[in-house]
Amino acid sequence: MIAPGIMDETTAPSPDTPREHRTAIVMPAHNEGEVIGGVIRDIRRACHYEIFVVDDASTDDTIRAATEAGATVIPLAAQLGAWGATQTGLRYALRSGIDTVISMDADGQHSAASIPELLAPVLNQQADVVIGACTQRGSILRKIAWRLMKRTSGLALEDITSGFRVYNNEAVKALASWRATLLDYQDVGVLMLLQAKGMRIKDMPVKMQPRIDGKSRIFHSWVIVAYYMSQTLVLGMSKRRARHSSNKYIVRGQ
Amino acid sequence: MIALVTGCIGLAVALTILLLMRKDKLHAAHGLAWFAVALLFACLGFAPGIVDMVAGWVGIEYPPILALSTGMSLLVLKMLLMDIERSRIEVRNQRLTQRIAMLETELQSHRASEFTSVGDNTGRCSANFPGSKRDSGRRSDDQD
């Protein structure tokens, strides 16, 4: 099955046909001016979905590079962090009548070639959210973090921190809410919110590239990691549900 | 003498609160709570026997501990309420920042589509922009 938007230019809408299923890519970016142009061009070569780049108050030329590469840029006046920027993109997608949203990082880690694979379960209504999981990546620190997060939150997903996800319209609506604005990160809090809303979450293994600029926003400083972990673990414990009810919405990967 | 000093401090704080409210430096809702605390402080200062009496009722042998622990509990409660209020303001601030960004993008798109339609004189909008003809299925972002 060719997902709508994947290199199929014959699917242009006519005025008489019902409104087509619309998919967009949301990409939060902070000071990614050097790489974002290439990342967007790679995506556009692979598919022709609308690309919304949410500029998280960058101080470099991220906006110019993304615009020149053909993305719609949503410029935040103040830095809201990766999740705040992603939520802006989700809200904008909702306002624009987008049905399915793919979230991707702007640093070139996520390959557009994996999009059809991730999109299929959502389009086939087998899942509401699909997470592109790559458990091979990351340092020992990241792996310890994953294990602790899974233990405290009770989430039985492989890659909790992956930003490569597909959300259907119901999931986008849930994540555009006020309650989701209270979250600082897109991992445990977001997944637990989706679970509490009864969304079916599936993780699928994907390949990820090393970052082009080579640096994670969180996993590069012990102080930031300590703060991030403390906050995430407390959040996970506070929202933890019974193991049976917390994992009944997890759809096992193939 | 100490009763007079603490009572006077309480009255001074109450007057300061009134002054701040008068000059619109302090919201009435916050000022009310602080004014009540200042008056209570003044009362306890002028009549410290109240603390001894209440401590006797609840069986505390060393009365200043009652005043101290009550004061600390109130401070902790106030700090918690402040953080709850701060969280609410942070969410509102973030939602507004997001909304400004979305509106700015829509404005840019609208200008671009207007420019395109004037440029080619065909009346067509750029297909991918929100607000364009293709965007007939537009929905509102419900939570604002």
Interface residues from chain A to B (CB-CB < 8 Å): 13, 19, 22, 50, 54, 72-78, 80, 84, 87-88, 91-92, 94-97, 173, 176-178, 181-182
- Burial readout B9-28 (b: 16 or more C-beta within 10 A, e: otherwise): ebbebbeebeebbeeeebee
Q: Which strands make up the sheet holding A250-251, listed edge to edge? A: A72-75, A50-55, A23-29, A100-103, A165-167, A129-133, A201-205, A250-251
**pTM confidence score:** 0.77
Q: What is the mean pLDDT of chain A?
A: 84
Per-residue model confidence (pLDDT) at position A250: 66
* Over residues A66-85, mean pLDDT: 95
CB B44 within 8 A of CB B50: yes
- Give A217-241 pLDDT, tens digit per residue: 666 677 887 888 888 888 888 877 6
A66 Cβ contact partners less than 8 Å away, ≥ 6 residues apart: A29, A36, A37, A40, A53, A55, A73
**In a 10 Å sphere around its CB, with 0-12 CB exposed, 13-18 middle and 19+ buried, how is residue B73 labelled?**
exposed
For A135, list phi and psi in degrees, rounded to 5: -80, -10
Going from the C-alpha of A26 to that of each of A8, A48, A214, B56, B105, the distances in angstroms are 20, 13, 21, 65, 14
Q: Which long-range contacts (CB under 8 A, 24 or more apart) does A70-77 make?
A: A70/A40, A70/A41, A70/A44, A71/A27, A71/A40, A72/B105, A72/B109, A72/B128, A72/B129, A73/B105, A74/B101, A74/B102, A74/B104, A74/B105, A75/B101, A75/B104, A75/B105, A76/B97, A76/B98, A76/B101, A77/B97, A77/B100, A77/B101
Per-residue model confidence (pLDDT) at position A103: 96
Q: Are strands A165-167 and A129-133 parallel, antiparallel or unpaired?
A: antiparallel
Per-residue model confidence (pLDDT) at position A210: 73
A136 Cβ contact partners less than 8 Å away, ≥ 6 residues apart: none
* Over residues A96-117, mean pLDDT: 93
Per-residue model confidence (pLDDT) at position A171: 96
A92 vs B94: CB contact, 8 Å cut-off? no
Q: With residue A111 as reference, give the H or E element that holds it.
A: none
More confident residue, A79 or A11: A79
Q: What is the ipTM of this complex?
A: 0.75
Chain B neighbors of A84, CB-CB under 8 A: 94, 97-98
Q: Which of B91, B104, B138 sits opposite A182 (nearest CB)?
A: B91
A182 vs B140: CB contact, 8 Å cut-off? no
Whether residue B75 is predicted with pLDDT greater than 60 in this model: the reply is: yes
More confident residue, A242 or B31: B31
Q: What is the DSSP string of A153-186?
A: H----S-TT---EEE-HHHHHHHTSHHHHT-SSS
- Give A22-40 pLDDT, tens digit per residue: 999 999 999 999 999 999 9
* Over residues A188-208, mean pLDDT: 90
Q: Three-class SS of residue A119?
A: helix
Chain A neighbors of B126, CB-CB under 8 A: none
For A167, list phi and psi in degrees, rounded to 5: -120, 135
Q: Which of A88, A173, A182 sits opposite B87 (nearest CB)?
A: A182
CB < 8 Å from A in window 52-91 of B = 87, 91
- Give B87-126 pLDDT, tens digit per residue: 999 999 999 999 999 999 999 888 888 877 766 554 333 3
Q: What is the distance in angstroms between the Cα of A137 and the nearest Cα belonging to chain B?
A: 32
Per-residue model confidence (pLDDT) at position A13: 44
A84 vs B100: CB contact, 8 Å cut-off? no
Per-residue model confidence (pLDDT) at position B131: 33
Q: Which of B97, B137, B142 sits opposite A19 (nearest CB)?
A: B137
A124 Cβ contact partners less than 8 Å away, ≥ 6 residues apart: none
CB < 8 Å from A in window 107-126 of B = 109
CB atoms within 10 A of CB B5: 10
> Quick one: pLDDT band at residue B134, thresholds 50, 70, 90?
very low
A73 vs B97: CB contact, 8 Å cut-off? no
A88 vs B87: CB contact, 8 Å cut-off? no
CB A128 within 8 A of CB A122: yes
Per-residue model confidence (pLDDT) at position A1: 42
- Give A139-193 pLDDT, tens digit per residue: 777 778 788 888 888 888 878 888 999 999 999 999 999 989 988 888 888 999 9
- The CA-CA-CA angle for residues B81, B87, B90, to 5°, reads 140
Chain B neighbors of A54, CB-CB under 8 A: 101
Per-residue model confidence (pLDDT) at position A40: 95
Q: Which of A22, A77, A177 sits opposite B143 (nearest CB)?
A: A177
Distance from CA of residue B31 to its chain's centroid?
Answer: 12
Q: Which of A87, A97, A176 sits opposite B135 (nearest CB)?
A: A97
Q: Three-class SS of residue A211?
A: coil
* Widest distance between CA atoms in chain A: 57
Single-letter amino acid code for the residue at A242: A
Q: Which of A80, A92, A182 sits opposite B97 (nearest CB)?
A: A80
Q: What is the distance in angstroms between the Cα of B100 and the nearest Cα belonging to chain A?
A: 8
Point out which residues pair with A75 in neighbouring strands: A55
Q: What is the distance in angstroms between the Cα of B88 and the nearest Cα belonging to chain A?
A: 8
